Amino acid sequence: MFLNTKTKKDCCGCSACSNICSVSAITMKEDRCGFFYPHINNDLCVHCDRCRKVCPMNIDLTNQTADPEIYALRNQNSADVKQSSSGGMFSLLAQWTLSQGGVIYGVAFDDAFRVKHLRGKTVSEVLKFRTSKYVESDISEVYLHIKDDLDNGLVVLLTGTPCQISGISRYLKFRHVCTDKLYTCDNICHGVPSHKVWEDYLNILKTKYIAPDDEIISVNMRSKKVSWKEKQLDISLKNGNIDSIIKDFSFNRIFASLYTARPSCFHCHYTSYRRPSDITLGDFWTGETAELSFDTEQGVSEVLINTTKGRELFNQLKDRADICPLSKKQGWQPHLEYSSRQPKKYQAFWSDYTESSDKEAVLRKYMKGSPMTRVIRLLSPVLRKTGLYNLAGKLYNVLPGKKG
């Protein structure tokens, strides 16, 4: 039985409910697509209702300010920028946290390249959080550690998707944890793909394209080897390479097609300037809309400062970065206004995918995206260059049948 959710679109999988439950009546269980949902053991449930109240899908953000300060930012340390998704803002936040003797919660690949939220308190642990992993992270285990760290008076930097940040923040509030030393940083979010599809994808590579005596040694979904703007997937092997396979069959394309995204991502509560975090990070692609006085080739972060705490932290870091203030219009992005659109053949994809023994064939069939996605992908670079991206994005949102 699903808790508090009429349909799967009502659950973002943050696991705040299972963590808040004082009688361990809630377990997160995986569905056939690889998304986790809460299940209640009615024999244990004491009907305290805390699971429903803590849920970040139940909150009303309308009272919150929707007027963040917005900046384009590039970390002055080019090595940091090269190793990051965009302009390396996360590295500045992480370095500051470590300098305070604090800990960072971020998303890394584990040894089997599964995507997990982990705790980092050394430079080498924290470096693994850099670059976006376009897969839903397993976050369930960090709740108690964050609480313990805050109870022990440590500075904590928590990063994640907006729904994850909201879930943990609400959990801490319900547990009456002092959050004076908690700094939260979410990302502008396109949606999170199923971890199961990512793990199937790795298996396909291993069984069909990687020699039995070879192995994957690193994965980077935001490699800047070719250029920042191409969002390249780079998978390094111990001996050979599979560049040509990835060029043709890239997980990044699968991510962008949206067929593998969590159902709730198409109904996201957080695709707005109202954020659940102190600081929000994104990619600042539309450099043409602002006159940036610094080099943008290696990547630029878009930074939203949402709270007083976020502003105080930003003020301590901004001397180590090139920054340019942006208006809301200049910093506009689709996912600050509306959720990703569910592809029309979303259900058909999952039926094909779960029933087929040839997962690769199904992924290849759907990864091109819907005709609309293909047109957008083709036109985006031109629209960005000509400054028409924002207008096109706004028009797309009001297309008949597209609103929702």
Ligand X SMILES: Cc1cc2nc3c(=O)[nH]c(=O)nc-3n(C[C@H](O)[C@H](O)[C@H](O)COP(=O)(O)OP(=O)(O)OC[C@H]3O[C@@H](n4cnc5c(N)ncnc54)[C@H](O)[C@@H]3O)c2cc1C
Does residue number 133 form part of the binding site for ligand X (CB under 6 A)?
Answer: yes
* Options 34, 38, 282, 393; binder of ligand X; rule CB under 6 A: 282
Does residue number 159 form part of the binding site for ligand X (CB under 6 A)?
Answer: yes
Report d(CA 17, CA 95) in Å as an integer: 32
- Asked if 270 and 163 touch (Cβ cutoff 8 Å), the reply is yes
Other C-beta atoms lying within 10 Å of the C-beta of residue 124 = 7
User: Which is nearer to ligand X, 200 or 302 (by Cβ)?
Assistant: 302
Provide, rounded to whole angstroms, the least separation between the CB of residue 39 and ligand X. Answer: 23
Report d(CA 346, CA 257) in Å as an integer: 10
Does residue number 163 form part of the binding site for ligand X (CB under 6 A)?
Answer: no
* CA nearest neighbour of 229 among 121, 101, 384, 108: 384
* Options 333, 339, 342, 370; binder of ligand X; rule CB under 6 A: 333
- Asked if 150 and 156 touch (Cβ cutoff 8 Å), the reply is yes
> What's the token pair of residue 162?
């907006």
Find all residues with CB under 8 Å of 258, minimum gap 6, and list them.
191, 340, 341, 342, 343, 346, 369, 373
Window of 147-155, 170-178, 201-209, 278-286 that interacts with ligand X by CB under 6 A: 278-286
* Options 130, 253, 262, 274; binder of ligand X; rule CB under 6 A: 130
Residues 360 to 389 in contact with ligand X, rule: CB under 6 A? none
Find all residues with CB under 8 Å of 83, minimum gap 6, and list them.
91, 127, 130, 131
Residues 85 to 114 in contact with ligand X, rule: CB under 6 A? 85-91, 106-107
User: Which is nearer to ligand X, 87 or 343 (by Cβ)?
Assistant: 87
Provide, rounded to whole angstroms, the least separation between the CB of residue 335 and ligand X. Answer: 5
Find all residues with CB under 8 Å of 382, minimum gap 6, and list them.
none
Hey, what amino acid is at 86? S
Size of the site for ligand X (CB under 6 A): 34
As beta bridge partners, residue 118 has: 106
Find all residues with CB under 8 Å of 388, minimum gap 6, and list them.
none
> What's the token pair of residue 65?
């300010």
Window of 14-22, 34-42, 61-69, 276-284 that interacts with ligand X by CB under 6 A: 276-284
Provide, rounded to whole angstroms, the least separation between the CB of residue 229 and ligand X. Answer: 12
Does residue number 137 form part of the binding site for ligand X (CB under 6 A)?
Answer: yes
* Options 98, 192, 246, 321; binder of ligand X; rule CB under 6 A: 192
Does residue number 335 form part of the binding site for ligand X (CB under 6 A)?
Answer: yes
As beta bridge partners, residue 283 has: 301
* Options 36, 71, 134, 350; binder of ligand X; rule CB under 6 A: 134
Report d(CA 354, CA 287) in Å as an integer: 41
Provide, rounded to whole angstroms, the least separation between the CB of residue 46 and ligand X. Answer: 32
Provide, rounded to whole angstroms, the least separation between the CB of residue 394 and ligand X. Answer: 16
Report d(CA 352, CA 25) in Å as an integer: 34
User: Which is nearer to ligand X, 15 or 137 (by Cβ)?
Assistant: 137
User: Which is nearer to ligand X, 39 or 121 (by Cβ)?
Assistant: 121
User: Which is nearer to ligand X, 150 or 279 (by Cβ)?
Assistant: 279
Q: What is the dihedral of CA 276, 161, 381, 82, to 10 degrees?
A: 110
Binding site for ligand X (CB under 6 A): 84-91, 106-107, 115, 129-135, 137, 159-161, 187-190, 192, 281-283, 301-302, 333, 335
